[in-house]
Chains A and B, each alone.
Chain A
């Protein structure tokens, strides 16, 4: 707490100093003293909570607990998208925010899921009742190699959510699909806040392969301590969320072009097209009737500039499509974007003005139905499903999303990812239709087989599911 005011005072001093046209004194790069560590630890701990929810899948209920950071005084908590994975929205239930306590049992507060933000890879949860908490404010401060960084995280549930302190030195910054700062030393568990010596929050600990995300991992509860993370994501990557927070009523709307299969130009292809040293991305496919298609973007076009500015550089050409994708994601639905594209070698660039539309719905927001008696679940077909199967976007059918092991459907030959096109000879519409006809069918003819025509790897197959007699 004291340190917080100290840094605020320092910040004010530097503003005043700035006004007086004298260069601000560089922030101290010395490591924190033992006392200062204790102060920072004390100051940050009250802003660390755990987020808990139940994943209620067709096959069972699983409790999931991960780290959260208080970012709103009223009870707003953030975590990374990783904690939600690809779990369908409608299967995440009973959100709680767990406030650790030194003196007694952790306090469990009912909470409401606020939404995902794919642009910044964050997710937000808020307590049902308003709180008066101390929140953490993230600032953008590009760390320099050699800077000391500190991190406070929570131990797993088994260790009573006790907070702990880790420290390291900035080793380097990786540019790429997602900026990452490498630390020599250790950081606290994934999704813990990272601070500089002044106590400013400058990033969050990133997930890396081998790291645990859960605070209730039964197999290796202490993995974050025995195998501490060494990468963090700087604030500039996720700052955008705070100016445009998702709420249940207003989820984040992600814009898209309708251009797919983007590839970064290799050095040789760039040189062949007289684009030496210019990062560029080639359009592999333009989806029919999307903003890119309507604006005249073509398969094979090479994107050289976005809104007049050259593309950002990656460490590898493979990273360029994702860098461009992230740049576009940060714009708003309805915004106009101007792409400067090279269509033929040696010709001048063409400017293509595209008005961004909202990206099509994702599988995790699709409506679902579980046919418990025969052991299979389906969901509505969304863009990515018809796209992957080379079908028209409005092609009818539902996607098999879950199969009970050794259930009737599995034994009958149904497979995950099958697109059910017909049931007992009738064309299948969406999940709502499917559920209606399925339940009627099972009620009318409970002992008879259900015959499905599915699309699998480009071919139809006829599947007969025999109900348990």
Chain B
């Protein structure tokens, strides 16, 4: 049910003398395209005009069925991705908060103080992201925001701003430009860590400050917060608002960035602080100037969303711990292959105590849970004898995170209620994989392909995860001329079966080396198989 709408505005002309001159080209056109990794339709609306974009932002957020538009607030080549989130807003439950504690409020002096503290730590990021298009690896340029988190020059931002970055340029508060590189990223939480070139900083004697990371779980609904960032390329923009809700969930919608799943393991801070495309990755701060969230999505009007800093702190830690000079840092998680569903209003039906257990709504094929014998409609009560309770949708993310935090490859004891019986099964966790597998370009054939992951195979109802899936095609090249289509799974090359991307690469290299004039592919399209012949000239 996820739909993405990408609003592409012409790239801003970049910063001259500190102030951005935002240039937009004229003309508006729209295309429709089928999302590759899903059978849901994704509509990309190209809006090459500021009026068009602003018009879109002003759209009413709720249409007749309670649909709400949420867009990612990057300014990417300037792509702003939006998700349509269906369903009526869930009732906000008050979190445990001590209303007696005073919190710093937005007096004029406090606002000015915060400005002085946080501005030197907020940066503008000009990023070239590595993407695949027309069968080739290429880059997509965009603008976002970030916040410096330590004196070693590390920057926290969004995955959708700096994830997959090939080149990054940082502009500091004092308008100095510093080259930077990606340390690691995590699409599940939409976060990325970037490192400024410290040699450059020392050599040029550039000054910067870092922000202090606060705590998000103690945020109180109604508390004043400020957002700092680069909306529409307008660097160092500060806006003020309040926390509207500290545990927003979009359950059951699956949000996406391009085709990457996101938002599964944490709730959102909802605030009415105005943010716009380009604010993405910038800090949301409280009135002591501490960072409490990373501004990530806008819903138009006054519904905006930030990733809680508590989530970000864990992700930063794991990215830094796993990053090596030649390898990007990442966050590894465990997976059981269970779709959990809140039990609200179903307690009587399943004859369970209120606030106990979580419904096993669906079990993925070939997953650890399936192998362990977990069945749809079981009630999952405990994992390793620790209770797992999900009554409300707001509690889903924490339950998913509990599973994700289990050691990978470990045996876990699941306590299940099935009908009137309570049973125990043991499942071995597996490393969580998204639907988007590793991607490579194959220039001679004019095609880019991806590894078929278990998640992708499940989503597309493929029989297994063998083969590689076609993502993009270069018109006029052999693969396009052989009428391959995005979504086709290549199962064999010259009758040699393809298990994974490495195998495909090997056969491709061999074929190109031998200058094969004709290559026979076995293609799976939908349920059927068919042959395709690539006619290659060298």
Contact = CB atoms under 8 A, between A and B. Distances in A.
Interface string A419-455: 0001011000000000000000000000001010100
Nearest to A455: B362
A422 B525 CA distance: 31
Contact of B349 (A261, A262, A424): A424
Interface stretch (B175-183, B191-199, B268-276, B339-347): B339-347
Contacts of A266: 482-483, 532-533
A459 interface: yes
B481 to A, nearest CB: 8
Contacts of B419: 425
B528 A462 contact: no
Nearest to B531: A269
Contacts of B528: 260-263, 284-285
Contacts of B481: 268
B522 A261 contact: no
A453 B377 contact: yes
B362 A268 contact: no
Contacts of A269: 531-533
B527 A285 contact: yes
Nearest to A406: B65
Interface in B215-274: none
A458 B462 CA distance: 10
A299 interface: yes
Contacts of B376: 453, 460
B482 A462 contact: no
Interface in B518-538: 518, 520, 522, 525-533, 535
Nearest to B361: A462
A390 interface: yes
B458 A458 contact: yes
A282 interface: yes
Given A284-B527, A284-B530, A272 B361 contact: no
Contact of A462 (B346, B459, B461, B526): B346
A271 B517 CA distance: 13
A278 to B, nearest CB: 15
A89 interface: no
Given A300-B522, A457-B39, A268 B361 contact: no
Nearest to B419: A425
Given A266-B482, A458-B458, A284 B345 contact: no
Question: Per DSSP, are chain A's interface residues mostly helix, strand or loop, or mixed?
Answer: mixed
B359 interface: yes
Contacts of B518: 268, 272
A177 interface: no
Nearest to A263: B530
B349 A449 contact: yes
A464 B346 contact: yes
B341 A462 contact: yes
A263 B459 CA distance: 25
A461 interface: yes
Contacts of B346: 451, 462, 464
Given A460-B362, A462-B346, A462-B359, A285 B529 contact: yes
B529 A299 contact: yes
Nearest to B359: A462
Contacts of A460: 339, 361-363, 376-377
Nearest to A422: B377
B349 A284 contact: no
B465 to A, nearest CB: 14
Interface in B315-363: 339, 341, 345-346, 349, 359, 361-363
Nearest to B345: A464
Nearest to B364: A459
B88 to A, nearest CB: 10
B243 to A, nearest CB: 30
A238 to B, nearest CB: 30
B536 to A, nearest CB: 11
Contacts of A462: 341, 346, 359, 361, 377
A138 to B, nearest CB: 37
A425 B376 CA distance: 11
Nearest to B535: A268
A282 B523 CA distance: 12
Given A451-B349, A464-B345, A261 B532 contact: no
Interface in A307-333: none
Contacts of B520: 272
A282 B530 contact: yes
A390 B365 CA distance: 12
Given A261-B529, A269-B531, 9 more contacts: A266-B483, A282-B531, A284-B527, A284-B529, A285-B528, A300-B529, A390-B527, A422-B377, A460-B339
22 contacts: A260-B528, A261-B525, A261-B528, A261-B529, A263-B530, A265-B531, A266-B483, A268-B535, A269-B532, A269-B533, A272-B520, A285-B529, A300-B531, A425-B349, A451-B349, A453-B376, A457-B461, A458-B459, A459-B339, A460-B377, A464-B345, A464-B349
